[in-house]
Structure 1
Amino acid sequence: MSGVKEFLQRETGHFMSLMEVLARMTADGSSHRDAARVLYGLLWHSRALPEWVVRDPTGLWIAEDEDTKKPWECLNTAGCGRRKKALDRFGFFAGEIIPFLAKHCIDIRADQGSATPVLAGAEEQIDTTTLAEKDMQELKPDAAQVLSGEVSEVSEQIDIAYSGPREVAPAGISKREVLSVDWPLPAGAPTLQNIIDSLPKWVDEACTKVGRVGKGVNGSHLWNPAILAFCLATKTPQKQWAAGKGALTSCLRRSFPDYLAQWEEAAKSL
């Protein structure tokens, strides 16, 4: 890395494009699409998200109100597996996006092409506000690893249900948020906490693996309520019970309205 580039990266006002952020999130081998889905979900559900920054021939400027629509669309498109040149145009200031992701156990301080850590000034922020009680070696994220092996029966049905163009819901919510709701499970079914803790194959598609699993209400994996509902409503050779569509619709409408449209579209195939 040149001295100039290293100096720029140590500035908290250094611009990090979406392309650069996603590249660093995939340093562990996860896919560009999954990294985009994780970032979209974390930003969507944050009360204090980093400001969107736009880079154009005139310089850098902070997007506000209607101007934020295009960055969101760009990231959404990346989450669908399609790349756009605009990924280099939109992004964040390093001093905001690095501490933000660190709160979710995702460390993007190091450039993929260099072992040199970036943002020496922001490193103190991360250690004192988000990582003080955690060993950084434990925080290397899985960042939504792509599932290996044969595609499960539920996965195939989800692919059919989601075929064709569609608006993508946020990537997911925390385990704590999922368990804060009373899900309509039938008699004889295990508790949702047991299902999430044991991660049976039939529920894999609902989980975006990032950070640590965690027991109880802890853990940094993200869960998509719409896909989770689809898994709960689907019978498989390993799961002979199914939750009711009507009860699940009411549950998502009441507790997870952002995912209702995605669930209703998927439920058409049930």
Structure 2
Amino acid sequence: MTSNVDDVQERVLAEILSRNAATEYLRDCGGPIDRATFRAMVPVVSYDALKPYIKRIANGDRSPVMSTHPVSDFLTSSGNSGGERKLIPSTAEEGRRRQLPFGLLKAVMNLHFPGLDKGKGLYFLFVKSETKTPGGLTAWPMMTSICKSEQFKDPLRDHTSPRAAVLCADTSQSMYAQIVCGLCQRHDVLRVGAAFASGLLRVIRFLQLNWEQLAADIEAGTLAPCASDASVREAVAGILRRPDPELARFVRDECRTGEWAGIVPRIWPNARYIDAIVTSVSK
């Protein structure tokens, strides 16, 4: 696939055009059938040019407006570029395809860091609120759609965070529970990550502000009332099984010094690398 990129890209485009030849959008563009006609007929456009088509789908139009496969949901943009969140139509097939990079990433990284299957990943993943369009389709951020998908249950098996902690809508409770679980399993952690590097920085800041309470919970063997979600408390109880004064003392010793440079390898000494996206940085 990577040695014949141009041939693969042309074949994929041909499959897309063939499958979606009956869509209203491609018909409006003149019905391109191959790469040459696609280049000539389909313009590069802004979101505003597609918005009328997207709005019809969101309002319940089930005809093949932009895809012959039924639109199953909408992904939402962050809204950082213009204030209004954009709706990106998605299909069930596309949802399944979004899971594939996780398996590929794991296989590639295992070539460089053998033995990753012998430990766990401390990944800080969070969901955001979802809405319904007038036509009844779910609109949600991409990471939320991934975390709530059935296909994502399997990758979480080798994560330190229980699924209930990841799916908790309260970001503060979710982060608190995920850090507790990561601390309790600190020797099992072989990789640390978040969706974006900025998210990992927020985790470190959260640890700076809450390490005393985290250490107290570990020492007591139970979560503080700040984590009030019943499903989160039940899931974390399976990991925070007993009081651990030794671990609590370690957390206090590492955090009270105020030396935060290098905190990740000090707390998680077996971590091999940090996994995070570093892009789209606003200046």
TM-score range, shorter chain: under 0.3
If asked which structure has higher relative contact order (CA below 8 Å, sep 6+), I would say 1
Pick the structure with more helix per residue: 2
Structure whose CA Rg is larger: 2
- What is the TM-score with the length of structure 2 in the denominator? 0.26
Pick the structure with more strand per residue: 2
